[in-house]
Chain A
Amino acid sequence: MFKLNINGDDKAVDVEPDTPLLWVLRDTLGLTGTKFGCGIAACGACTVHIDGQATRSCVMPVAALEGKRVTTIEALAGKELHPVQQAWIAHQVPQCGYCQSGMIMAVEAMLRQNPHPSDADIDATMTNICRCGTYPRVRQAIQALIAGEGAKS
């Protein structure tokens, strides 16, 4: 039994210690907004925040998470959508949408830690794969957020 803090709520989950956080979120807790893409931390579809850090949950064993705070896409919005989500709508970023939870969580962490990243910073940080090729709009939305225009729709 592992005690986790997921989106501000304490949860006890009865799983094997090597179970990746991704599957605890999706199968045990029903938080399916976090996606499975590769299982080896190569694509970023499973990105969540652990103590505020963007983390690929598909290789993060649940046993390593006691006492840590996990935030998923489901908890990013408050009463209104988060500015990153609003920018995503304003720039019509998603296509199939499968990678976008992870993409949004990665962008949110990047901008929180560095509100004015350079293009090189963005390239180095945003390594999530999008097979639909929404990258041009991802970049536009990030640049709008940097310029403080994220919430504009």
Chain B
Amino acid sequence: MTLANPGRRRLLIAGAVVGGGLLIGYGLRDRNRLTPPSGLTHGDHEFVLNGWIKIGVDGVVTIIVPNQEMGQGIYTALPMLAAEELDADWSLVRAEQASVDKIYGNYVILGDALPAKPEDHGAMATTLRWVGFKLGEGIGYVMTGGSSSVRSAWDPMRLAGASAREMLVATAAKRWAVDVAQCSTRAGRVTHAASGRSFGYGELASEAAQMTPPDHPRLKARQEYTLIGKPTPRLDVRAKVDGSAQFGIDVRLPNMLYAAVAQCPVIGGTVKSFDTAPIAKLPGFKAVVPIPHGVAVVADSYWRAKSALQQLPIVWDEGVNATLDSNAILARYAEELEHGKANVYHASGDVDAGLQQAAKVVEASYQVPFLAHATMEPMNCTALVKDGACEVWAPNQAPSIMRMIASRITGIASEHVTVHTPFLGGGFGRRAEFDFVIQAVTVAKAMPGVPVKVVWSREEDIQHDMYRPAVMAKFRAGLDTAGKPVAWFNRIVGASVTRSLMDRLLPWGGMDFPPDKTNAEGAADLPYAFPHQRVEHVLANTPVPVGFWRSVGHSYNAFFTESFIDELAIAAGQDPYNFRRTLLTDSPRHLKVLDTAATRAGWGTTLPAGRSRGIALHESFHTVVAQVAEISVSPSGEISVHRVVCAVDCGMAINPDTVAAQMESAIIFGLTAALYGEITFAKGRVEQSNFPSYDMLRLAQTPLIETHIVDSGAALGGVGEPGTPPIAPAVANAVFAATGKRLRKLPLRLA
């Protein structure tokens, strides 16, 4: 991102806290990062080689995973990195969730959010880094998001594996009284080839754990990899087919109580009063506990809690948002699109002059609605406050933040707060929020000594989300006489998710924040070459809480930019694929991805009658994705997507099978948004409530999806999110090819 007005980047705190801990490693040398933290436990017959690897006498290798498993396959990808360097036997590798400790901090989310470039060593950038470091040191920043996990753990995971391997080799060499250089490792064994002797890692672990870690363990070169880059079965699949996988909602503790919650139906409203009398005698009823914006009814089973809650008379104070209406928000955005005060995110050349000189000017406006995350596992959290300590069991993406929140609510120092993170039944950014933790800890604090599990209904989940913002954008572009774009102007209007999160997280409301990078991500950093370009954003916050939703700003900016590029191709009388190619002469990586998708999809070949294709290309989270969608439109205007061909360049595919799975996942997630997704507000209330009114793609509507991995050797990119942004424009462009109608609003509706 280029900030045209450096004076705006006053404080980085926003990005720093959301982002994670680029700078956590600032004062921690790599070797220090291997030191086992106090929170690392081990079994009686298990030995700690370093903070990331434990080995049992049975040879089982347990690898500590600092990220949370929400479906993206991180419990497999990260152990693969350590197991590769360790030369472990993959069938004996297990994954374990890390404790909240600095060595497990996520280094790179913050780096992605920084308005200062990493190579900037100026006073401002240095100050920002110091602030970020101090915050990181205080909070810890174990968190998952921004498709950053592999990039963050790439170095420490491999280093941990290599270090442990050298300790095991040194132990074996000492026992045999041979030189370490004569020993080799493979599949969980150290072998001395000359004498034919070998030890399993389990036989060496107790002694190896006593060794001093090597200063500079040797890391493999890429061509030596035997595991990284190979399709590898997930470590968590077995437990996920027999019902034994433990999700947050499955936590069961002795004497545990259950809570059902109701929050004010009007956004931001509160409870005026409630009357416990009518439910006090109901079976199993225990208490009503006020929580922010609502109440929790506690009983000895969830159904009893929910039944009692339904009978509890509650009078709401609807507060200041009782007239909030999403149509009014969009009407305001349409006004701001013309007259709002804009932050310039990217400027090159002279866009006004470029437009004046153009042979043809094309203009269009687009919009997307609010969206809910709708993870399959509804929000839930279990908490216990007892004897000056607090324990939290939460399916969450940011254990460091959850610990801070629990500490803040209970007044218990964070070292006495333990956060357990079971499997997440979906995350998509929703579980980086902490509202459900606030509720559970608030209830547990009111009922000390008793663990309480708070479970939301699906209706609460849909109606009390932190939504993907509704956004509008307009474009004005100029083409020369040959149809080549010479000027590109793009203005976006919407709320800042970073600001919204900061307002929830920190008591600093009202301070001046730097422009939120996510607002223009995927719009201000296009791969296409335009001589004159300006991309700007009008910050227009609303009372609607907004949050990080799979691919964040890219989720809408890709729809805007890749639809409008298509409009320019049509205006230029050119094929949309070839038109993009001519603009990518300086972006060979993008060109190769685009070509791969087009070639594999048979772009330009004849389709069966009634079928049409659309194409889109987008980079996000350092990964480039192109997709070709093949669609048909029924006489009644219903859009069916039959086939999606996806090409992805994520630098290096650690587990190619997971990369393919994540593309499938992200495409389907994006298709649900493109075809169905819309959250609306009337009288301050969300109008949708459950799956019939906030519907999801199902098997019958799912296209064939083919993923082709392009191995460019580029730096590592993420894979959890980058598949989502291109699908909506690919489908919209195909709808135009089929019908001649340009759909500029999501969800796509022809009728």
Which residues from chain A sit less than 8 Å from chain B, CB to CB? 15-16, 18-20, 23, 26-28, 30-40, 42-43, 45, 72-74, 76-77, 81, 85, 88-89, 92-101, 104, 122-124, 126-139
CB distance A98 to B426 under 8 Å?
A: yes
Closest to B374 in A: A131
Please, which residues of chain A bring their CB within 8 A of the CB of B245? 97
B173-181, B316-324, B607-615, B693-701 - interface stretch: B693-701
CB distance A133 to B690 under 8 Å?
A: no
Please, which residues of chain B bring their CB within 8 A of the CB of A35? 247, 249, 376-377, 425
CB distance A100 to B241 under 8 Å?
A: yes
The 6 closest A-B pairs by CB, nearest first: A33-B243, A133-B668, A98-B425, A97-B240, A96-B71, A95-B71
Residue B242 contacts which of A30, A34, A38, A81 (CB distance < 8 angstroms)? A81
CB distance B700 to A124 under 8 Å?
A: yes
- 9 new A-B contacts at CB < 8 Å, known A88-B241, A101-B243, A139-B699: A26-B302, A35-B376, A133-B665, A134-B661, A135-B664, A135-B668, A135-B702, A136-B704, A137-B661
Please, which residues of chain A bring their CB within 8 A of the CB of B250? 26, 32
CB distance A131 to B375 under 8 Å?
A: yes
Which residues in window 350-382 of B have CB below 8 A to A?
374-378
Closest to A138 in B: B699
Q: How many Å lie between the Cα of A10 and that of B72 in the bound state?
A: 39
CB distance A104 to B378 under 8 Å?
A: no
Please, which residues of chain A bring their CB within 8 A of the CB of B244? 33, 74
CB distance A96 to B424 under 8 Å?
A: yes
B86-94, B209-217, B229-237, B385-393 - interface stretch: B229-237
CB distance A95 to B691 under 8 Å?
A: no
Closest to A19 in B: B303
Q: A117 CB to closest chain B CB, in angstroms?
A: 12
Please, which residues of chain B bring their CB within 8 A of the CB of A38? 458, 690-691
* Chain B interface size range: 35 or more
Interface of B is mostly: loop
CB distance B664 to A133 under 8 Å?
A: yes
Which residues in window 280-308 of B have CB below 8 A to A?
283, 301-304, 307
Closest to B378 in A: A36
Q: How many Å lie between the Cα of A7 and that of B95 in the bound state?
A: 30
Q: How many Å lie between the Cα of A94 and that of B247 in the bound state?
A: 14
Q: How many Å lie between the Cα of A43 and that of B692 in the bound state?
A: 9
Closest to A45 in B: B376
Please, which residues of chain A bring their CB within 8 A of the CB of B241? 81, 85, 88-89, 93-94, 100, 104
CB distance A27 to B72 under 8 Å?
A: no
Please, which residues of chain B bring their CB within 8 A of the CB of A18? 307
Name 25 interchain pairs, CB-CB below 8 A, sorted by A. Answer: A26-B250, A27-B258, A32-B246, A32-B249, A32-B252, A33-B243, A35-B247, A76-B243, A96-B425, A97-B236, A98-B377, A98-B423, A101-B243, A104-B241, A126-B698, A127-B699, A127-B700, A131-B426, A132-B376, A132-B426, A133-B665, A134-B664, A136-B664, A136-B705, A137-B664
CB distance A96 to B692 under 8 Å?
A: no
Given A16-B307, A132-B665, A133-B664, decide whether A77 and B242 contact each other with a Cβ distance below 8 A: yes
Closest to A20 in B: B303
Please, which residues of chain B bring their CB within 8 A of the CB of A127? 698-700
Q: B657 within 8 Å of A by Cβ?
A: yes
Please, which residues of chain A bring their CB within 8 A of the CB of B247? 35, 97-98
CB distance A94 to B691 under 8 Å?
A: no
Closest to B301 in A: A27
Q: How many Å lie between the Cα of A133 and that of B233 in the bound state?
A: 18
Given A89-B237, A95-B665, decide whether A33 and B303 contact each other with a Cβ distance below 8 A: no
Residue A73 contacts which of B243, B307, B665 (CB distance < 8 angstroms)? B243
